[in-house]
Amino acid sequence: MSQLVPVIVLSIFVVIFGIIIELVALLCSTAGKKSATKLESYECGLPSDTSGTTRIPIKFYLTAILFILFDIEIIFMYPWALTYGDFISSGLGLYILGSMGFFLLVFIFGLFWEVKSKALEWE
Amino acid sequence: MLMEAIGFYAMAMFLVFFAFKTISDPNPIHCALYLSLTMIGLAGVFYQLDAQFIAGVQMIVYAGAVMVLFVMVLMLFDLKTELRAFSRGLLSGFLKIFSAAILAGFALGAATNSIGIVDEQPPKVMSANITRDLSILLYTKYLYAFEALGILLLVVAVGAVAVSRIKGGSHARD
Amino acid sequence: MGSDVFEITVNFVKMVAIFLMMVQLVPLLVWVERRGSAYIQNRFGPNRVGPLGLTQLLADAVKFITKEEFSPAAGHWFLFYAAPVIALIPATLAFGAIPLSAPINVGSFEMLGHTWGPYIFKFQSFDMGSIGIVFVLAVSSLAAYSLLLAGYGSANKYALYGALRASAQTISYELAMGLSLVGILLLFNTFSFSEIVAVQNGPLSFYFFGQVVTFSGIPNWGIFYQPLGALILMAAMFAETNRLPFDLPEAEGELVAGYHTEYGGIKMNMFYIGEYGHMLVASGLMVTFFFGGYTLYPLLTPDTVAAWFAKLGGTEASILTALVLHVVFLAKVLFFLWLFIWVRWTLPRFRYDQLMDLGWKTMLPWALGNTIITALVIFVMRTKW
C-alpha cells in the first residue's frame, strides 16, 4: 500500500496538469467565427458521405483475441524466468525446462497454426 | 494501520462506484470504459493484499488486453445509445428483486464473517519475496493446471478463428 | 510516500520534478529532431528564432496555446478532451519506476527546532520493489486507450479507423516487447530495477559448464548476454511509440493524420508529449536492462564516485555522487534518443500489412527462439555436471 500512494498521487497530478493546460488553452484561444463547415468532420475537404453501415473488418477482433491469448502465455513465462536460477541450483533444472518446454511447444504450435491458417492476413 | 484502512476503503469505494456506473449507463462504450476503470481498481485491491505480481498481471491482461478488445469491438459496431438503462416488465422486475436479495445476503454474510478483520492481528510471517514463492508453487504444486491452461489457450485460439469463418459470414472459406 | 512531513514534501517535489523533466524534454527533443533531421537531409533546420533556433519551440508553444479551440459537433466532447490527458499517464507512470541514479542518503540534521532523522531518498518517483518490470509493462499497455478514445471522440470515420489500426499495431508489438525481456530476466532472476542495475555493477562473470568465469575489465552489461533481445526490444519500442518506420497511424497520405485528425493546438501537442515520453521510457528501459543503468563498472560506480567525495562526508557526498551517476544515465539515454531520431529520418515507412506481418511472423518467433536458446544455454552452463 505504501508503494501505491505515490502512483495514485502522481496520476492525479498528471490529470490535473492536463486539465489546467487545456483550460489555459481554452482561455487563451483566439475565437474564430463559428461556421457549419468548420464543425463538420474532416474528410480531405469533400462533403461527408456518412452512409449507414459499413463493412466491419473482423481482423481487428481476431488480432485482439490472439493478442490476449499470447499475452497470457507470455505472462506465464515471467515467474518462470524469475525462479529459473533457483530451480537449476537446487537440481531441478531438467524438470523446470521440461515443463516449460511442453508449454512452449503448445504456444509455438498455436502460433504456427495461426500463421499457417492465414488468420491474420492484412490484405 | 489507519493508512491501510483508509486506503482499502478508498479503493473499495472507487471500485464499487465504477462497477455501478458500468451497469447503469445507457451508452455501451461508456460501460466498457467504466469496466476498465473497475479492473484498474481491482488491481489496486490486489496490490493492497500483498499480491503485487497478480496486480500487475491483472492490469496487463484485463485492463490492457481484454478491455481494449471490448472497446475496439464496441467502437466498430456503431451501437445506438439505449433509451433506458434498465428494462421494464413483470419478469424482469422479479429477477431484479431476486438478484438484489441475493446480493444483500452475500453482503450480510461477508460483513458478519469479517467482524474483527481490521483489528490488530499478530503480523503474518510473510516471506521476503512473495512473487518468488508464487512462482515456485505455480511450477511445482499446480503444474497440471499450468499445462492445462496452455492447452486451453490453444483451444480458444482455434475456436476464435473457426467462429470467424462460420459459413455465411463475411470471412467464410469456400 | 514517507513517514514525516519533510520526507513527504521532498518525495512529492521529486515526483513532480521528474514529471516536469519528462515534459521539458519534449521541446528539447523536438529541437534536436528538427536540427538533426535537417543535418541528415543536408539543409538548415530552424535557425532564426533565438541562438541556433533554440527558442523556436517556445514560440511554437505560444502559438499552440493561442490556437482556436473547437471540438467536432457530432463528437463526444468529454472523451475528445480527455484523450490527450490520458495519453500522458502511461508514459509518466512508467518513467517514474525507472531508477535514474543511486539513492541519496541524508543524515540527521536540525531544522526549525526538530531533528529530522536519517532518510534514504531513491532517485525515482516510486520504487515498485518486487515487480518493477511488470509494473512498467502494465502501465504501458494502457497506452492503447488514448488512441481509441481520440479516434472515437472525433466522430470522424477516418479518425476511428486510424485509431483502430494504431491500437492494433500497439498491441501486436506489446507481445514482442514483453517476450524480449524474458531472456534478460532468465539471466538476472529478478524483476526489481535496482537489483538489475546492481547486478550489472560488476565485472563480466558468467557460468561456464559449472565454473564461474570472470573478466575483470569489462562490465557485466546485459548487452553482452542478450544482443538479440536488445535489438528486438528496441524495434518493438519503435512500434509502441508510433515512431517511424512504424508511424503509419500518423501518415499524411493514408489517413490524414489518423487518430488525431480533429485535434489542434495544445491538445495535439499533448499527444506528442506522450509519444516522446514513451521514447524516454523506451530509452530508459534499454539503458537499465542492457547497458548498466546509471553505473559504468570500472570507472564510475557508486563506490568509486563516493570515494571522490569522501572528504565532504555525509549528505553532500551522497548528493554529489547521485548527480554524477545521473549524468552517466542521461548520457546513455540521450544516445538512445538520438538513435530514435536518427532511425526516423533514415528509414522509409512500412506499409500496414508489412508492419503487422513483421510483428507477428518475424519478431514474435525470433523473440521466442531467443528465449528458448537462452534457457537451454543457461541450463547447460549452470548445472554442475
CATH number at residue B57: 1.20.120.1200
Nearest chain A Cα distance for residue B101, angstroms: 34
Of B52, B53, B68, the CB nearest to C167: B68
Confirm if B65 and A67 have CB atoms less than 8 A apart.
yes
Please give the pLDDT value at position C125: 87
Averaged pLDDT, A75-102: 89
Q: Is residue B172 part of a domain?
A: no
Estimate the crossing angle of helix B28-48 against helix A4-28, to 10 degrees: 140
| C157 contacts in chain A (CB < 8 Å) | 41, 43, 50, 54
Is a pLDDT exceeding 70 seen at residue A35? no
Averaged pLDDT, A41-58: 57
Give the burial string for C180-213 (b: 16+ CB within 10 Å, else e).
bbbbbbbbbbbbbbbebbbbbbeebebbeeeeee
Nearest chain C Cα distance for residue A110, angstroms: 12
Half-sphere exposure of B145 (CA within 13 A, CB side): 7
Cell of C53: 533556433
A vs C, Cβ pairs < 8 A, gives: 178
Mean pLDDT of chain C: 84
- Among B75, B65, B69, CA closest to B29: B75
B171 falls in which pLDDT band (50, 70, 90)? low
For C55-73, how does the pLDDT look when each residue is reduced to its tens digit (9 = 90+)?
777 777 777 777 777 767 6
For A67-81, how does the pLDDT look when each residue is reduced to its tens digit (9 = 90+)?
999 999 999 999 999
Please give the pLDDT value at position A118: 81
Nearest chain A Cα distance for residue C166, angstroms: 11
Q: Is C148 helix (H, G, I), strand (E, B) or coil?
A: helix
Is a pLDDT exceeding 80 seen at residue C250? no
Please give the pLDDT value at position B153: 93
Q: Is residue B155 part of a domain?
A: no
C256 falls in which pLDDT band (50, 70, 90)? low
Is a pLDDT exceeding 90 seen at residue B67? yes
Confirm if C154 and C76 have CB atoms less than 8 A apart.
no
Angle at B42 (CA atoms; ends B41, B48), nearest 5 degrees: 95
B42 falls in which pLDDT band (50, 70, 90)? very high
Cell of C196: 538489475
Quickly list DSSP for C318-381: HHHHHHHHHHHHHHHHHHHHHHHHHHHTTSPPPPHHHHHHIIIIIIHHHHHHHHHHHHHHHHHH
Please give the pLDDT value at position C204: 86
CA distances from residue B138 to A76, A79, B56, B134 in whole angstroms, order as listed: 9, 8, 17, 6
| A15 contacts in chain C (CB < 8 Å) | 85, 89
**Alpha helices, H only, B49-140:** 52-58, 67-76, 90-113, 130-140
Instruction: Check C93 against A6: CB less than 8 A apart.
Output: no
Averaged pLDDT, C187-194: 90
3-state helix, strand, coil in chain C (%, to 5): 65, 10, 25
Instruction: Check B75 against C131: CB less than 8 A apart.
Output: no
Confirm if C286 and C336 have CB atoms less than 8 A apart.
yes
Is a pLDDT exceeding 80 seen at residue C287? yes
Range of the domain at B79: 1-96
For C198-233, how does the pLDDT look when each residue is reduced to its tens digit (9 = 90+)?
888 888 888 888 788 888 888 888 899 999 999 999
How far apart (Å, rounded) are the C-alpha atoms in residues C1 and C111?
Answer: 21
Instruction: Check A123 against C353: CB less than 8 A apart.
Output: yes
Please give the pLDDT value at position A50: 55
- What percent of chain B shows pLDDT beyond 90? 42
Averaged pLDDT, C72-85: 82
Which chain A residue's Cα is nearest to C138? A75
| A113 contacts in chain B (CB < 8 Å) | 157-158
Judged by CB atoms within 8 Å, which residues 340-379 of C form the interface with A?
Answer: 352-353, 356-357, 360-361, 364-365, 368, 371-372, 375-376, 378-379
- Can you give the residue ranges of every domain in chain A? 51-116
- Judged by a CB distance cut-off of 8 A, whether residue C93 touches chain B is no
How far apart (Å, rounded) are the C-alpha atoms in residues C127 and C122?
Answer: 7
How far apart (Å, rounded) are the C-alpha atoms in residues C249 and C161?
Answer: 9
Please give the pLDDT value at position B88: 77
Is a pLDDT exceeding 80 seen at residue B141? yes
- Among C286, C291, C295, C289, CA closest to C325: C295
Averaged pLDDT, B3-17: 88
Q: Is C301 helix (H, G, I), strand (E, B) or coil?
A: coil
Q: List, in order, residues 6 or more apart from C145 with CB less than 8 Å away.
A: B33, B36, B68, B71, C86
- Judged by a CB distance cut-off of 8 A, whether residue C171 touches chain B is yes
| A30 contacts in chain C (CB < 8 Å) | 66-68
The total number of structural domains that make up chain B = 1
For residue C155, give the amino acid letter: A
Is a pLDDT exceeding 90 seen at residue C107? no
At residue C279, φ and ψ (nearest 5 deg) are: -60, -40
| B146 contacts in chain A (CB < 8 Å) | 76, 99, 103
C136 falls in which pLDDT band (50, 70, 90)? very high
Instruction: Check A11 against C89: CB less than 8 A apart.
Output: yes
Other C-beta atoms lying within 10 Å of the C-beta of residue B9:
11
C365 falls in which pLDDT band (50, 70, 90)? very high
Place of cell 541528415: C40
Please give the pLDDT value at position C258: 64
B80 falls in which pLDDT band (50, 70, 90)? low
Mean pLDDT of chain B: 85
Instruction: Check C138 against B131: CB less than 8 A apart.
Output: no
Best of A82, A105, A108, A123 to mutate (most B CBs within 10 Å, chain B): A82
